[in-house]
Amino acid sequence: QSALTQPASVSESPGQSITISCTGTSSDVGGYNYVSWYQQHPGKAPKLMIYEVSNRPSGISNRFSGSKSGNTASLTISGLQAEDEADYYCTSYTSSLTWVFGGGTKLTVL
Q: Contact, 48 vs 36, CB < 8 A?
A: yes
Report the distance separating Cα 56 and Cα 58, nearest Å.
Answer: 6
Residue 89 within binding range of other proteins, rule CB under 8 A: yes
Size of the site for other proteins (CB under 8 A): 27
Residue 45 within binding range of other proteins, rule CB under 8 A: yes
Residue 110 within binding range of other proteins, rule CB under 8 A: no
CB closer to other proteins, 16 vs 61: 61
Buried b (16+ CB within 10 A) or exposed e, 49-81: bbbebbebeeebeeebbbebeebbbbbebeebe
Q: How far is the CB of 77 from other proteins (least distance, A)?
A: 17
Positions in the binding site for other proteins (CB under 8 A): 1, 3, 32, 34, 36, 38, 40, 45-48, 51-52, 57, 87, 89, 91, 93, 96-104
